A = this chain, B = another copy of it.
């Protein structure tokens, strides 16, 4: 085989892996939207077969042959840059997966599967002690795996890198530290404000078909391509890129709180726009994918918060929204509406948090994960530590573990290192906005006119199109001229909330 043939064989092999992954994504979408109840457990087995097959192909001797042969310097130099990046991607995946002995990995999947079930039960019964031994095993596995994987500075860096390439504890400690101080100060100011936005109109009945009709208006204005996607209902909203031309959104409806689906849909729409606007020339490779969890989250949060919680956005869209539930908004001025949807209230549950307090929830988890990995925190002490941190950061103390340490599924699945991405998304999005302002000084006017295309185009030009070609830090540097910096998020939040709360 000459180099061209070898390259082609590798690309074909990769395409088949992607076919399996597309299958997994479709099955998963179906399971979460309309798959009939009784057929689901059988379908889950099929999903397992397909996911295993994709994993097998990524870790197979055949893959190893490709990686070795194509990494030969004399060969690699002849590959197209896309193939080289694809090669690098699979090399990293291969090494990550191969360093763990197969029997230990199998054992880990058994433990997490069991831990997931027990977590559900523990949460329902509000009994952390049930979950504790399983969480201990999951944490022990993380530490064991870290020995195989190795690390440079801090063991947690390696976990972070899985979700946010090149992110480190050193960076996060600094950035989160600064951010936390500023957020807590701002939050305290707000809580002392005598001004409390009116929110009564939020909790009135808004027919879900009306909400859905509004979503179509907004998503189209955002530039979401319905010929390359669709919107469905689900319990836990998500966006999923089945393939470059099929990026679906799901949303959850609450007929007595339209915010759930309105902001949820825009959030998922932001994820979907990212995937819909990656360069089509990367299709058929793993590079056609958002570059990290944090950058992905920066896109969803940009649309959800920076665009859709902006006063000017509603100048245009509030009249549209009203059409679908006229009674509800009768006598609610645009100003009242804007203030109402931006109410800040420290709460116990992360996924219900507002844009100001959300990052604080994440930091609680970050500190705990770090501590567990370095043995500075013991699993048995978690409920107390959790509650203390919540009190310290947010000024609220969970009355139950169900509303505290047991609220998230992530740890039972062994997803350590994931949580920080959420907060990174907030920070990145504000940095991107600062850079965007230079190119689109008329940002607010665009919103007022409902003309969102220049915004979407800017994000495509600066972020979307590259897919995995650029790492998160490169995106940031190329776009904003600097490294991660929480100043912009704080500045954005201060300006906004000092106005909302008349501070």
Residue ranges of A at the interface with B (Cβ–Cβ < 8 Å)? 16, 19-20, 22-23, 26-27, 30, 34-40, 42-43, 45-46, 49-50, 225-230, 242-246, 248, 283
Contact = CB atoms under 8 A, between A and B. Distances in A.
Q: How many copies does the complex hold?
A: 2
A230 B36 CA distance: 7
A246 B35 contact: yes
Contact of A228 (B36, B45, B46, B242): B36
A60 to B, nearest CB: 15
Contacts of A26: 26-27, 30, 43
Contacts of A27: 23, 26
Given A22-B46, A39-B245, 4 more contacts: A19-B45, A26-B27, A40-B246, A43-B242
A122 to B, nearest CB: 29
Contact of A38 (B37, B38, B228): B228
B244 A37 contact: no
Contacts of A19: 45-46, 49-50
B42 A243 contact: yes
Contacts of A225: 38
27 contacts: A19-B45, A19-B46, A19-B49, A20-B49, A22-B43, A22-B46, A23-B27, A26-B43, A30-B30, A36-B226, A36-B227, A36-B228, A36-B229, A36-B230, A36-B245, A36-B248, A37-B228, A38-B228, A39-B228, A39-B242, A39-B243, A39-B245, A42-B245, A42-B246, A43-B243, A43-B246, A46-B243
Top 9 nearest A-B pairs (CB, nearest first) are A39-B246, A38-B245, A39-B245, A38-B228, A19-B49, A42-B243, A19-B46, A37-B227, A22-B46
A336 to B, nearest CB: 36
Given A42-B246, A246-B42, A16 B228 contact: no
A338 B458 CA distance: 63
A216 B426 CA distance: 46
Contacts of A22: 42-43, 46
Interface centre among A22, A38, A227 (most CB of B within 10 A): A38
A3 B226 CA distance: 54
Nearest to A50: B23
Contacts of A30: 26, 30
Contacts of A227: 36-38
Contacts of A246: 35-36, 38-40, 42-43
Contacts of A16: 49
B23 A46 contact: yes
A212 to B, nearest CB: 15
A58 to B, nearest CB: 16
Contacts of A283: 42
Contacts of A20: 49
Nearest to A20: B49
Contacts of A46: 19, 22-23, 243
Nearest to A39: B246
Contacts of A228: 36-39
A39 B227 CA distance: 8
A446 B22 CA distance: 48
A213 to B, nearest CB: 15
A230 B34 CA distance: 8
Nearest to A276: B38
Contacts of A38: 225, 227-228, 245-246
A287 to B, nearest CB: 16
A248 B33 CA distance: 14
A34 B30 CA distance: 11
A294 to B, nearest CB: 27
Contacts of A230: 34, 36
A248 B34 CA distance: 11
Interface centre among A39, A45, A229 (most CB of B within 10 A): A39
A41 to B, nearest CB: 8
A388 to B, nearest CB: 46
Contacts of A248: 36
A229 B37 CA distance: 8
